[in-house]
Structure 1
Amino acid sequence: MRALPRTAWVCVLCAVLGAAGCVLPAVTGPATPWTAVALLAAVYAGCELLARRSPGAGSFFAVLLAAALILPPAAAALTAVPGALLGATEHPPYGVRRVWHAAQLAIAVRAAAELGGSALFGAERGTPGLPYALLPALAAALVLCLVLTALDGAVRATAERLPLRTARQALARSLAPYTVHGLAGLMMAVLWRSPFGPPAALFVLLPMYISSWVFAQYHRERAAHRATIRALVQAVDIKDQYTRGHSERVGQASAMIAGELGMAGDRLEALRFAGILHDVGKLGVPTRLLRKDGPLTPEERRVIELHPEYGHEMVRGIGFLGEARAAILHHHERLDGSGYPYGLSGQQIPEFARVVAIADAFDAMTSTRSYRRARPVDAALRELLRCAGTQFDPLMVQAFVRALARNGWHPAVTADEPDDCPHGAVPPARTTAPGPPADVEHPT
């Protein structure tokens, strides 16, 4: 707790005082519907406890928005406090974070109830028609989103020194989910006020929980995929220190080409994985050959040229890689049939392999190796264009040229770079005499 800056403590204290002012009328007032407050507060607290047992299950703001629609503003704010104090917190100081979250939610729910909520479902109004109720419910969700994002941005700016633009980015990402929560909250409120009563309203939470659980499972699976790939890449980087960071840069360049070719979604992700893992077969190559200074002998070259087949064997059982496995096997094939391991030509070479071949050669040329200095980016592009049609697919080379012209070349930051080439940066460009692409000189 002492690590928090004084400005952050001031921000938390102001939020707590503001939240106390929001809920105080419900505690002292005679007209608070305590039964409804207790039930909604218990439901929200139960959802938060469930989220603690199932990380990634998401937040059930629909309960709070339903409270904002059917309860007086102060009472609605009160329903958020117990659940927020019991909710999951990933980082210390845990107590301060829970208190902050409770204050933040109380203020946001009070604002949502005041501007878009409780007057809609006042006892004298009964249950309004859907067209009339829809806009106020969405307004309540928008207000909740705006207030939570603003408060979150304020505490991050004071505690973590993050720029305020991060709050704008968070707001853009949150609008769609909060809209969905607003509609679910409206459904709960309508059922709550209907003849079916509160038990029917609680059934709205079941499909929300199922969908959030499925979403969390999906993200856990993706995280496991990335961890698997990271472990393989780190093993290669440890063994072949001369090309450390090369795999991630090839993955980045492959994704740039894929985007220019119109690939998207899972297919683009698979192609990025192909670029990252294209050299995983080096784990089967003797380390002395990978770290050798100077040219390779013909026999040594033949040994290294086995790495695509080694790599394919290693990843053959990893189902989520899909087309990436073919790229790992064939990324050293050439359009004219002079490549390896099978001498495929033209359209016989899988599409992913043709993309990764270009990305691999480009990064090899623009990176300093033990046997030669790096080439400038424009020189590497000229070399790719010269070899288009014989070694590389000309349409894909043109796509890469367009992507670089539009976005430039900014290699991704990694934590695995050696000290003399920090954070995945391309080493200083040096002018070299024209010649064959770097992977011809030393097959990596």
Structure 2
Amino acid sequence: MRSVPPWARAYIACVALGAIGCVAPALTLRTDWGAVALLALLYAGCEQLTRCRFVGARAPRGMAAFFPVLLAGVFLLPPAAAALVAVPEALLARVEQRPSGPRRIWRAGQLAVACWVGATVHVGLGGRELLGIGGPAAPDFPAVLAPAGAAALVFCVVIAVLDGGILLTAERLPVRTAWRGLFVRSLAPTWVHGLAGLMMAVLWRSPYGPLSALLVLLPMYISCWVFAQYHRERAAHQATIRALVQAVDIKDGYTRGHSERVGKASVLIAHELGMADERVEVLRFAGILHDVGKLGVPTRLLRKDGPLTPEERRIIELHPEYGHEMVRGIGFLGEARAAILHHHERLDGSGYPYGLTGRQIPEFARVVAVADAFDAMTSTRSYRRARPIADALAELKRCAGRQFDPQMVRALARALDRHGWHPSVTADEPEVPAPRGNVPPPGSSDPRGAASAPRAFPEQPAGTADDPSTALANAARSDAPIGDAAR
């Protein structure tokens, strides 16, 4: 939203006008301006607290750390007054991204409308009476939970709907993706904030007065700080992985983007296998980092134009062990470390580094092996064009049971049939220079694998193209399927 498109400006203007319509009745009705000012000041102070470098880490982008204060206003105040609570902070807050004006107006309007709708629902369901507002009665538990939960729900819905609209108009996301996941991701946190806001409202109405409501905010702030720390650690993990992958890409530009594509294909397979989300994320890391051990291989070998000598092959075949040593101390990688070590193993025992067979090979390694070979065959290189997806799948199926786990191959086929294959292309990807010198022709065997020149057609040494035993031995050192060795 650096330069706001006309449609987005019109959308923001409509939300702002709607917010003005929501708060206008507060100017003519009998409004408890003391409660409005106190809640607005409390909300502004809490939001500023999350930005204080001395106090703690900032909450993740898009996370409203102190919705409990807004929801307390929804429960305590009439709709028009509740809509005013968020406006001062939203209009006066420091905005890091430009243009700041439309962003402030948008945020103020969005929160005002959401608070007004939530308070309207709460009033309509008799929530204020159940809280004892307007009379001497004590809060009626558990009856008070129903209107409070409904108000929090519609508050969440309005936030999600308006957020999707701004993504559609300002960020120009497609209609089918603009609202995807917005409501589901925010529902549980909003309900938790709603419970905290309800506790604030009850304490506010208690004999101890508004100051007692501050007691609710301390554990809420601690939980938000912990959550922010978790996201900061997660961002550090992502940065570590990006740095490692960029280092591999810089060392060998032949397969720039290969690691990310292997990670994407691995995730497709994982979803088809029904893996838990936590394991899917770790498997993505495994796919992205599977060739990080190439950093330990001399660059001259990765970029060598001609065939490799047996000694050079042995050096390059150490890269899974190099990679495992590099990441063994990174605790969050978990099972990914085994995949990095064993992704060149083959079901028939002809792989490396340990010649494991069948189920001895870790599940993650069997997934990454299929994803790696698939991208190797479907990626264009300077010396050959990419193979069609159908041909690559046919080759994977032909080699299933010997080189690849048939279950993983079937899962990839189902995923591609359902979702297709749309690998992202890096915008700043440089042109791959044409190989010089004695370049192995299409059909060459190269243990440098998919990190330098993944071959869909591994080469045979002179005079051995028709020797099946020699072909199989050469293909066992390649990232390509074994069947390609005879081609």
Equivalent residues of 1:245, 1:416 under 8 A apart: no
The separation in 2 between residues aligned to 1:109 and 1:352, in whole angstroms, is 47
Shift of 1:170: 2.3
Structure 2 residue 132 is matched with structure 1 residue 133: no
1:427 is matched with: none
Shift of 1:442: 4.3
Structure 1 window deviating more from structure 2 (171-180 vs 19-28): it is 19-28
The separation in 2 between residues aligned to 1:341 and 1:326, in whole angstroms, is 12
Structure 2 gaps of 5+ residues are: 434-455, 460-464, 466-470, 481-487
1:144 is matched with: 155
The separation in 2 between residues aligned to 1:439 and 1:259, in whole angstroms, is 30
1:337 is matched with: 349
Matching residue within 99, 102, 106 for 1:100: 106
Letter in 1 for 2:153: L
2:468 is matched with: none
Structure 2 residue 110 is matched with structure 1 residue 111: no
1:275 is matched with: 287
| Cα separation, partners in 2 of 1:308 and 1:101, compared to 1, 3 Å | same
More helix by share: 1
| Cα separation, partners in 2 of 1:398 and 1:101, compared to 1, 3 Å | closer
| Cα separation, partners in 2 of 1:393 and 1:146, compared to 1, 3 Å | closer
1:74 is matched with: 80
Shift of 1:236: 1.0
Letter in 2 for 1:22: C
Equivalent residues of 1:367, 1:374 under 8 A apart: yes
Letter in 2 for 1:55: R
Match of 2:51, SS? Answer: helix
Matching residue within 174, 182, 189 for 1:170: 182
| Percent of aligned pairs sharing the same letter | 68
| Cα separation, partners in 2 of 1:261 and 1:8, compared to 1, 3 Å | closer
- 1:15-414 matches, within 5 Å, as 15-27=15-27, 29=29, 31-53=30-52, 54-56=57-59, 58-59=63-64, 60-87=66-93, 89-117=95-123, 119-120=128-129, 121=131, 122-124=133-135, 126-165=137-176, 166-167=178-179, 169-293=181-305, 295-412=307-424, 414=426
Structure 1 window deviating more from structure 2 (148-157 vs 309-318): it is 148-157
Letter in 1 for 2:100: Y
Equivalent residues of 2:59, 2:228 under 8 A apart: yes
| Cα separation, partners in 2 of 1:157 and 1:437, compared to 1, 3 Å | farther
The separation in 2 between residues aligned to 1:63 and 1:366, in whole angstroms, is 53
| Cα separation, partners in 2 of 1:405 and 1:184, compared to 1, 3 Å | same
Shift of 1:438: 10
Letter in 2 for 1:138: G
| Cα separation, partners in 2 of 1:331 and 1:13, compared to 1, 3 Å | closer
Shift of 1:359: 1.8
Match of 1:411, SS? Answer: coil
Length, aligned pairs only:
436
Q: Give me the TM-score of the superposition, normalised by structure 1.
A: 0.86
The separation in 2 between residues aligned to 1:159 and 1:407, in whole angstroms, is 27
Deviation sequence 1:22-54 (CA, Å, 0-9, x none): 33443455x322332222112111111012233
Deviation sequence 1:120-170 (CA, Å, 0-9, x none): 443137444134322221232233233333444444444444445514642
The separation in 2 between residues aligned to 1:126 and 1:436, in whole angstroms, is 85
Deviation sequence 1:232-256 (CA, Å, 0-9, x none): 1111112222112111121122223
| Cα separation, partners in 2 of 1:373 and 1:297, compared to 1, 3 Å | farther
The separation in 1 between residues aligned to 2:282 and 2:192, in whole angstroms, is 30
The separation in 1 between residues aligned to 2:457 and 2:344, in whole angstroms, is 26
Equivalent residues of 2:2, 2:99 under 8 A apart: no
Letter in 2 for 1:233: V
2:484 is matched with: none
The alignment's C-alpha RMSD in Å is: 3.3
| Cα separation, partners in 2 of 1:145 and 1:164, compared to 1, 3 Å | farther
| Cα separation, partners in 2 of 1:174 and 1:2, compared to 1, 3 Å | closer
Match of 2:246, SS? Answer: helix
The separation in 1 between residues aligned to 2:288 and 2:2, in whole angstroms, is 42
| Cα separation, partners in 2 of 1:91 and 1:309, compared to 1, 3 Å | same
Q: Give me the TM-score of the superposition, normalised by structure 2.
A: 0.79
| Cα separation, partners in 2 of 1:379 and 1:2, compared to 1, 3 Å | closer
Letter in 2 for 1:26: A
The separation in 2 between residues aligned to 1:99 and 1:124, in whole angstroms, is 37
Shift of 1:194: 2.5
1:425 is matched with: none
The separation in 1 between residues aligned to 2:339 and 2:380, in whole angstroms, is 24
Letter in 2 for 1:309: E
